[in-house]
Structure 1
Amino acid sequence: MAQDWNIELVVQSIESVYSTNDTDKIRQLQDYLQTIQKSESGYQLAQLLVKNPSKYCRYFGALTFTVFLNTYKEALTHNQITSIFDELIDYTITLQTDNFDSNLFIIKKLLSNISLLFIDHNGMDNGDQALLDPLSRYFFKIGNANANFSELTNDQFRLLIHLHTIIVEDIRKRDNTKLSSIHQLIFTVIFPNLRAMYEFLIHYDITSESHELHKLALDCLFAWSTYIGMAEHGSQISYTANEITLQPLVMYTFKQLKFEDLENTIDIVSKCSTVLSQILEDYPKILNPYKPLLTQVLFEPDQFGVKFSRAILNNKELMEIYQQEIENFADLIIAYLNLNILYLARNLSNPQVLQILEMAVSLTDFPGNPIEDEKLSDQFLIFWEEFISTFIDDGEIMKNTNPTLQAEILINVGIIYWRKCHVFGSKMSTEFNHFRIRVAEVFQLLYSLLNTSIYSLLCKTILDKLIEFGSTPSQQVSLDIEASLYLIYKITDDLTFYDDESTEALIPHIDQLFQHGLIEIIDQNFKDHQINITLLNFLSSLPFYFKTSQGDKHITVTFNYLFSIILDQPTDKVHASQALISSKTILKICQNSKTKLVPFLPQLQTIVLAVIKNVQFDSLIRERLVNSFVSIVNSLKDPIKLGDVISCLVDVVLEKIALLGPNEEEDVRDYAVSLLGCIDEIAKATELPEDLDDYFTAEQSYQTQAYWTEDQHHIKQSILKVINELSLNYSPLVDETLCTEKCCHIFKCGLSEPINGPFKFELQVMFNYLMLKIQKCNSGSVSLIYKLIESIVITNSIHISLSSFEELVTKVFIDKLTYIQADTDLIKSSMGLFATVLEKSPSLVIHLPLFTHTVLKFGISALTYNETYVIKSVTKFWNMLLTLRRGKSSEQEFIRDLISNQFIIDDSHPLGYSLLSSLIDSFIDNPRSNTEYFYQLFRTLVAKYPLLVKNWLRVKLIHKLVDNGKFNGPFVDQFISKLMLTRGQRQANEVLKAFWLDCNNLVEFKQ
């Protein structure tokens, strides 16, 4: 091998760069030397570097061996492989003898190379496999041909453990479908030594000298526990067919679970827990023969598990020092519980099962605050959730379960989690909040199983604590009430979310809370932020209660409490968040209990008007209160009263708009948007339901239609004035996307309503606004305008005149074409608009000159973009045009002639060819993830115009692929033939996919 590099210079570079620990420089050096590593000189370089005294050079030498072996895997002869194999073992022995710990990172890399050779070259010739047995070669080279483990030094033993670990870890990174032979070789060549090693280790006591070795042995077992399942699934061999096969490995693990001398061996115990957890979760079949023994070790009195759990539960110092080790032990218990969950649920009366569940309960109740001080209660949540679900989902279990014993166990668990979800500290962390949510999910399951008994227990706790607080106020009582209130809120909210009729069963318990002055006592005595937040959330879940005669009595005190929070004008974040939740609660109650709240309208109107006028209120609060107020008025079904209210509100909004200056600060601009938002909320609150006959009587429907047709107060004009003043004339909001969004939504609200109403505007009024707005807006607003036009077409196409639509399209599209072409979002939006028109009412556009002369050209050019959202929109447009499902026969014939004969894009080819040409170019150039969006358009063209497409395709592909030498004529003809045979059916997808792969020099990956 010719040496075309300077070894001294390479060594100097390596030492210099690696000593800096600069990862970027190390990477640059590796890239620089990669050419040498991959050349035939790489082997020579690897040899020289591994023999160099510098550790950095030795490691880089081991790395160079890896690159060389991967590069020349197919080219190396049998003799070269065995020579390098022996050479690597020799290097490993030298480094191990020199200084094992100091050289470990190099040794592990060399062992990885040995593993690489073993895996890649295990099937050379019959009888040669043993020559690549690293264990036999290693024992031979150290003079221990009989593989006597008692003769090994501690370092030699550790090296063998590392080798056994690395081999299976490397195999696990490979494709299991191609490893059947290597699995067989591992079983026959490697595993016997591994088994013998653990037979020896069982009797090898843990001492200060052997401590590290035992930790490595457990790491090795962890690697093998995950490998064995992989091997059995990927080959015909079975480690688990015979109980004796894995006995030394399993018994070695059990032996390390000792309580004696725990202080010195707890890290060993922790690793054992991790290994056993991994086996139980990943491949429990390994432990099937040892289930009784495992149960005994973990749960029998005076055995390891019970001793360990008692020790950690009664020793605060142990809890703090060995937190991770304790969590690993908990993982083992949970893995055992999950594996046996059905057995445990079916055998609650069994003393051994009760003993097992008792340990689970005691560990769940681990001392300390969840997340912050202890993680065990969080770890056990998933188990208890699954355990409770087992009773709910399995009717047979319920039939055979002692309900008293079941309730006793589960309520005990519930009490623990009730205590654990108490808020601690001044600020709740995100992690603890997530924990509380999951605790609440457990209580929701408990409710499903135990029904109102758990709900009643929580409510009784609140009542008892309210009485206790009256006599002995304390922080603990406050925390107890908050935790109970939080859990009944989550249960209630869960039931109301699914509109469950079982909420009726909650009413007596909720009513007791209100009768005992829940709101008054908390409002007067509890200034804690969290308890008020929880009360507000609880109230928001009670619309069903306020609809009842019992709840009706407490609406006044509820509203007084809610509005007092809002009207306090909070400035700090804590109280501001309470005010937001309060407004949300008011909105939910008003929307769901409208008729019960009619007596509150006068007070509510006073508050709403004050809030509209006051700039300082949060925009969301202002808008929610407007919606709440109007929702109640709308429930009266009296157009006169509704008109009076809307007129009053809109007049106040116009008064405030008149006071706005031209260059306001941000908070005033936000207020101006909120004024528009108030109009939007009025629109939402007055929308009519789809089934109008069930909502209005014939008389009410007639009165509503007549009132809004006459519109004596000119309310619609006032609403339009608000829209125009803020979105067209008020300069700070002209380019505000949110402003346009609210305006468009206001117009949308009345579009589909069958009778007249405050927000049912004439189409030309909306068109006039849009034609003005398009001149004064940003790009985000253009997309919103297009969406509104789509909605108008979908709901009112039969009422749109061709002339008005042509004028509209000219203003919003043609006149803005240059602007649109510069923004892919707008290209997508405009194509989406025209696709919707073609889908719903094609007669509006297809005969317009602007459509044939401009829109179609635009649609061809839009195909050149590679953004997914553009491709989806433009291909939909062309599919809608080609199919024209709602077009008359004359219109379909017009489109057919347009595609076949019209020369719109250039004078030498019809439109169809121009479309197909751009389609082919875009399809080939787009990434694979986008190709699926083209398939339907290709299929439509083939189905609609088979002969024309066949000719057009050949002209295009000969020019694009054959003339430039990429493919030959037969390739093109074969593709066209395959595509045409599909006749536009789904099989075309596969033909097109294969064509795209060929054009991009790619192949289909098949597993």
Structure 2
Amino acid sequence: MASNTYDQLPTSLEEVVSLVLQLYRPGAQVSVVKTQETLHRLQRSPEGWRLANSLSNHENQEVRFFAALTFIVKLNTDAKSLGEEDVQALLTTLINWLIRCLEISEGQLVLRKLCSTLVVFFFQFSSSWQNCIKHLIYCVSVGSALPYESSQDAPDVQSMIQQLPDRKAVAIFWFASTLVEEVGKTDSNSMKQHKFHQLMLPNVDDIVPLISKYITDHNPTPDQANVRQEAMKCYQSWVSYSHRAFIDDGLILEPLRTFTNATIMCLADENLYEITMELLADVLSTYCKFFSEDDFQTLFALFNSQWAQERYQRLVQGDYDFDSIQFGLFTLAFGDATLQDLATRTEPQYQQFLTALGGLLGAEGYPVHEDKIFVPALEFWNAFVENMIDSIWSEDETSLLENTFAQMHVTQAIQKCWRKIQFPPSEIFNSWDSVDRTGFKDVRRDFSDLLQQFYLITKIPILDVFITLANKAVENRNWEELEASLFCLACFPDTIGDTEPRDEYLDKIFTAQIFSLFSTAPDEIPLRTMQSFLLLVDGYADYFEQNTAYLPNVLNIVFGTLASPALSYKASRTIQKLCSDCRKLLVPELDSFLKQYQSLNSNSSIDKHAKEAIMEGIASLVQAIPLDKLKLKPLDELLNFIEADIEECFRIIAFQATSEDTSGSAHMNSVTLTADSPALQLGLGALKSIIGIGRGLQTPHDTPIYLDEDEERSPFWTTGEGSRIQTRIASMVNRVYDVLGAHGDIVDAACHVWRQGFRELEPGAFVVAPAMIIQFLLKANFNTPRLGCVIGTACSFVTSHKSNNESGEIFATLVHWISQILQQQDQPSNDPEVAQNGIDFLTRLLSKQLSSLMSHQPPSSLEFLFFFTLKALAGTDPLPKSAAADFWSTFIGLPTQEDSAMQTAIDNVLQHLGPMLAEALIYNMGGQAARSELDKLSDPLKKLVTRQVRSKSWLEAALSGNSFPSDKVTTREKTVFLQKIMNLRGSRGTNHVVREFWLACRGTNFAYAS
């Protein structure tokens, strides 16, 4: 072909055929793209109709396929150009082609595409081909494309299909399936506009007899297997569509329900089993109202039949082939559809079926890895229990009796699950791939959800089930069963209410026997069993506050597990919880805890997370010491441990610096450390340990607060002996930060050290002088990693700071620092997190120390801060925008100031920036904001309308200005919006009006102006 073939359209049919063949048998990839472009241009050209018709008779199947595709392209692009005569002529052409294909036994590739073409024709000209299925059956029956009007005089469909050959019936099924599937995909607006549901009604009557012919046939011939499969697939498509019709218009396509019983019987046909099973399961799961009561009784009988029992037995005995799993899912779908009856009725058929559903939880093999039915079966039982919860509180005695039966079934199901969630031996579990290992752990979590839900029904007696199993496992030293039992018992702490007689049950599991076992045989006990024991102790740590006899034993066991890397983190968290809950009891043992930690720190490698948790636990004991001066010695010891880690960190860095630079001028700050560097991990661990101490020293939430106390607070922590601890903590944090502050995790951890003191209402080791906080914050600049976290710390400081004579100077310093950072950032979008936190800082300052902001110098810097918030308000980043909305809502809503100069300054800001604020708000409400942002943006608008007399003119100018983003609303609609806003004067209705206007500006609220 000539080199310019792709620049101009082919001039002969032979050239087109050559291009089509090249497309479907490509050589170089570049030519495929060019060929596609050329052929697509050809399809869209005025000659496309004629080309498609010409190619439809070609001897090559791929060319004929392209012909059908060309008809589809033309119908989708140029259908409106056809007159009524052209439409009927096109329909005749397509149907004649279909008949010709059937006569020559055309392959599926072309025949299916041609059926799709006829469906596209229906969508374009549905009013001209309403009874499309009957007309198509009529034409195919007589072997000629008769005019559509002639179908009115055609025999009834039942008569026509009697002599219809199977191969022609298959084509009808393909067309009918594609038709209803495409209608089902139609969006709601198009569905209503074209009344597709109403158009489908007569077609249901026409397709049902043909489907019924093959589904209800009790003596099919072997060569009818294919046509019967297509009939069932077609039926599935129409039933699926019927759900959409029911939801949209409440239409019940009754003809489709006439042979549901026969459909169920098709399960016995091996050729139809898979399709029928899928259809029935889908209907049961999504549209069970489609089935009648008789259908449900037929299904109950089916599940009791020998056929079903054999399949059930194969499944529970470990047959997980596709058809077996499909049967299991079908069984569960029937359970979902009859859930309410299963939970409340006691007839034998319901009880038997519940037993069978419980039996699916006991199928052979490990869940996920082998047993593929366990997960969906567990989902059913979760749904079953949720349904019980919804109905359990009925006062009807009969319902309560029936629910007792349901509880019995759930209890049996739980016992089966208990056995299934037991971990396999480590060598087996570790041989699984990561997906199966994760899936197995997910199963255990899902089972814990079931237990917590069932607890709401049975209350605390459910614990007895697992206490009995655990004690039996202890006697037999069956570690897998013990682990599963302890895991189940550990599911309930957050669920058990304060009024439950919990300790009476826990007394039966926390016994000398179990503590002796875990004390004397630690090497024999598998890690997973020990993990579940730690989980149990952690969950019920407060039990030992009232039951102190075994507390020393528990602590010894838990400390003993810290040396194991696999257990150290969980053990450390358990120690922390025990210390926190039993702090007053354990204060006398504080020295022992410190010695225990020193021994562990010297003899084993405890990671930073474990150190943090243990430090927090020991610090909670320090917090419980009644006299502040007695807290100093143990705090010094804790800080000594941390200081040793810091020194080791610096030693490693100094050694590395010397190794990297032999000039003698090496500096620790010049050393490059990777994320897993031992030095970096030591430094980070040190800061996290300090954070742990800070958390442990915090006053417990249940400690009473005496708001009316007039006693002068002791200066112990501010200027007395305790100030030394504060200075020491600050020094350690600053030293680590100064060397390692280029790493984001270090910055984040250092900030969290200071935040530990912000929530405290009384002086303490972490309630440091503001000067220490300021000194740290001012070290950060625009290049500091995690800068947003640093500014967030400044925000928390502003909120927690108790104002005094020095507050003005402190806040003025911080405003200057924030201003420098934001000016370096320039645009809020350059770092949205920094912008959000910077604006949040300004907002908090408005109510805390307004003068520090309004007196900020120079004036150009103050002006920049206000303009920065306006840029954020008009920007696209959601977090800075939200913060800016809060800023302006707070600023506009400031109370009248006693200082007249201050009030004048506020008024001047609003008069100068009010028009720009209105413009930013209207820009968002004109369609630029996200819908979720509108309520937040409405707040400053409401304040502006109610507090500024010039707000109406500002908003009016913004609505008519060049920056208004939408062309979807008229001047009249803008006027209506403004009138409504002004009339509402900041009431709750403002939010609704804003949303309506935003929708109109987006072009999705056509009735706004009315």
Amino acid at match of 1:173: K
SS state at 1:567 partner: coil
Shift of 1:757: 1.2
The answer to whether residue 767 in structure 2 is matched with residue 760 in structure 1 is yes
Residue 880 (structure 1) aligned to one of 865, 886, 890? 890
Flag the 1:207–1:120 CA change in 2: closer, same or farther, 3 A: same
Flag the 1:892–1:937 CA change in 2: closer, same or farther, 3 A: farther
Partners of 1:282 and 1:608 in 2: CA distance = 59
Partners of 2:993 and 2:404 in 1: CA distance = 66
Q: Contact (CA 8 Å) 2:21, 2:62: kept in 1 or not?
A: yes
After superposition, what is the alpha-carbon deviation per residue over 1:250-299, rounded to whole angstroms, capped at 9, x for unaligned?
A: 133122122xxxxxx44522322221222222222322142354245323
Flag the 1:704–1:651 CA change in 2: closer, same or farther, 3 A: farther
Shift of 1:221: 1.9
Partners of 1:236 and 1:875 in 2: CA distance = 45
Partner residue, 1:308: 311
The answer to whether residue 202 in structure 2 is matched with residue 194 in structure 1 is no
1:479-628 superposed matches below 5 A: 479-490=480-491, 492-495=492-495, 501-512=500-511, 514-515=513-514, 517-520=516-519, 523-526=522-525, 528-549=526-547, 552-568=548-564, 576-610=565-599, 616-628=605-617
Shift of 1:85: 2.0
Partners of 2:524 and 2:967 in 1: CA distance = 87
Partner residue, 2:725: 715
Shift of 1:512: 3.7
1:439-838 superposed matches below 5 A: 439-451=447-459, 454-469=462-477, 477-490=478-491, 492-495=492-495, 501-512=500-511, 514-515=513-514, 517-520=516-519, 523-526=522-525, 528-549=526-547, 552-568=548-564, 576-610=565-599, 616-659=605-648, 660=650, 661=654, 662=668, 663=671, 666-689=677-700, 693=704, 706=716, 709-711=719-721, 714-728=724-738, 730=739, 733-771=740-778, 773-775=779-781, 778-796=783-801, 798-799=803-804, 800-814=806-820, 817-819=823-825, 821=827, 822-838=830-846
**Worse overlay, 858-867 or 502-511:** 858-867
SS state at 2:765 partner: coil
Partners of 1:501 and 1:765 in 2: CA distance = 48
Q: Contact (CA 8 Å) 1:583, 1:621: kept in 2 or not?
A: yes
Partners of 1:952 and 1:357 in 2: CA distance = 66
Amino acid at match of 1:750: G
**Worse overlay, 632-641 or 166-175:** 632-641
Partner residue, 2:662: none
Partner residue, 1:572: none
After superposition, what is the alpha-carbon deviation per residue over 1:376-412, rounded to whole angstroms, capped at 9, x for unaligned?
A: 2222223223334444442347754268755653433
Residue 168 (structure 1) aligned to one of 154, 158, 180? 180
Shift of 1:629: 0.7
Partner residue, 2:349: 352
The TM-score, its normalising length taken from structure 1, stands at 0.85
SS state at 1:753 partner: coil
Amino acid at match of 2:372: K
After superposition, what is the alpha-carbon deviation per residue over 1:454-506, rounded to whole angstroms, capped at 9, x for unaligned?
A: 4333322333233334xxxxxxx33222222222222x34435x666343242
Shift of 1:668: 1.4
Partner residue, 2:437: 429
Partners of 1:485 and 1:606 in 2: CA distance = 31
Partner residue, 1:262: none
Partners of 1:399 and 1:655 in 2: CA distance = 67
Shift of 1:853: 3.8
Q: Contact (CA 8 Å) 1:59, 1:106: kept in 2 or not?
A: yes
Shift of 1:697: 13
Partner residue, 2:137: 135
Q: Contact (CA 8 Å) 1:975, 1:991: kept in 2 or not?
A: yes
SS state at 1:798 partner: coil
Q: Contact (CA 8 Å) 2:133, 2:206: kept in 1 or not?
A: no
Residue 196 (structure 2) aligned to one of 182, 186, 193? 182
Partner residue, 2:78: 72
After superposition, what is the alpha-carbon deviation per residue over 1:808-835, rounded to whole angstroms, capped at 9, x for unaligned?
A: 3223423762246453432332222112
Give me the identity figure in percent. 18
Flag the 1:529–1:10 CA change in 2: closer, same or farther, 3 A: farther
Residue 871 (structure 1) aligned to one of 881, 886, 897? 881
Partner residue, 1:210: 224
After superposition, what is the alpha-carbon deviation per residue over 1:861-919, rounded to whole angstroms, capped at 9, x for unaligned?
A: 44453222222222332232222248557477425531465xxxxxxxx4333444566
Flag the 1:899–1:611 CA change in 2: closer, same or farther, 3 A: same
Flag the 1:913–1:251 CA change in 2: closer, same or farther, 3 A: closer
Flag the 1:313–1:829 CA change in 2: closer, same or farther, 3 A: closer
1:840-855 superposed matches below 5 A: 840-850=848-858, 852-855=862-865
Residue 271 (structure 1) aligned to one of 272, 275, 285? 275
Shift of 1:618: 0.8
Amino acid at match of 1:297: A
Amino acid at match of 1:734: G
Flag the 1:271–1:891 CA change in 2: closer, same or farther, 3 A: farther
Shift of 1:619: 0.6
1:60-459 superposed matches below 5 A: 60-100=66-106, 103-124=107-128, 133-141=135-143, 148-176=160-188, 177-178=191-192, 181-203=195-217, 205-235=219-249, 238-240=252-254, 245-246=255-256, 248-258=258-268, 265-266=269-270, 268-291=272-295, 293-302=297-306, 304-310=307-313, 312-313=315-316, 319-320=319-320, 323-348=321-346, 350-392=347-389, 393-394=391-392, 395=394, 396=396, 400-401=400-401, 408-424=408-424, 425-427=428-430, 429-451=437-459, 454-459=462-467
SS state at 1:16 partner: helix
Amino acid at match of 2:277: S
Amino acid at match of 2:379: I
Q: Contact (CA 8 Å) 1:421, 1:436: kept in 2 or not?
A: yes
Partners of 2:929 and 2:913 in 1: CA distance = 26
Amino acid at match of 2:553: V
Partners of 1:951 and 1:358 in 2: CA distance = 72
Partner residue, 1:15: 21
Gaps of 5+ in 1: 259-264, 470-476, 569-575, 902-909
The TM-score, its normalising length taken from structure 2, stands at 0.84
Amino acid at match of 1:620: H
Gaps of 5+ in 2: 1-7, 147-153, 431-435, 655-667
Partner residue, 2:665: none
Shift of 1:14: 3.1
Amino acid at match of 2:727: Q
SS state at 1:735 partner: coil
Partners of 2:304 and 2:967 in 1: CA distance = 79
Q: Contact (CA 8 Å) 1:950, 1:980: kept in 2 or not?
A: no
Shift of 1:718: 0.8
Q: Contact (CA 8 Å) 2:176, 2:207: kept in 1 or not?
A: no
Partners of 1:601 and 1:977 in 2: CA distance = 70
**Worse overlay, 507-516 or 553-562:** 507-516
Partners of 1:936 and 1:276 in 2: CA distance = 53
Q: Contact (CA 8 Å) 2:141, 2:164: kept in 1 or not?
A: no
Flag the 1:215–1:296 CA change in 2: closer, same or farther, 3 A: same
Partners of 2:813 and 2:507 in 1: CA distance = 63
After superposition, what is the alpha-carbon deviation per residue over 1:307-334, rounded to whole angstroms, capped at 9, x for unaligned?
A: 43245556x6xx25xx221222222222
The answer to whether residue 56 in structure 2 is matched with residue 50 in structure 1 is yes
SS state at 1:523 partner: coil
Partners of 2:480 and 2:923 in 1: CA distance = 68
Amino acid at match of 1:305: A
Flag the 1:506–1:61 CA change in 2: closer, same or farther, 3 A: farther
Q: Contact (CA 8 Å) 2:316, 2:362: kept in 1 or not?
A: no
Q: Contact (CA 8 Å) 1:863, 1:919: kept in 2 or not?
A: yes
After superposition, what is the alpha-carbon deviation per residue over 1:86-136, rounded to whole angstroms, capped at 9, x for unaligned?
A: 222222333344445xx32332222122123334433349xx857983333
Q: Contact (CA 8 Å) 1:630, 1:686: kept in 2 or not?
A: yes
Partners of 1:401 and 1:233 in 2: CA distance = 36
Partners of 1:648 and 1:417 in 2: CA distance = 49
Shift of 1:214: 2.3
Flag the 1:913–1:313 CA change in 2: closer, same or farther, 3 A: closer
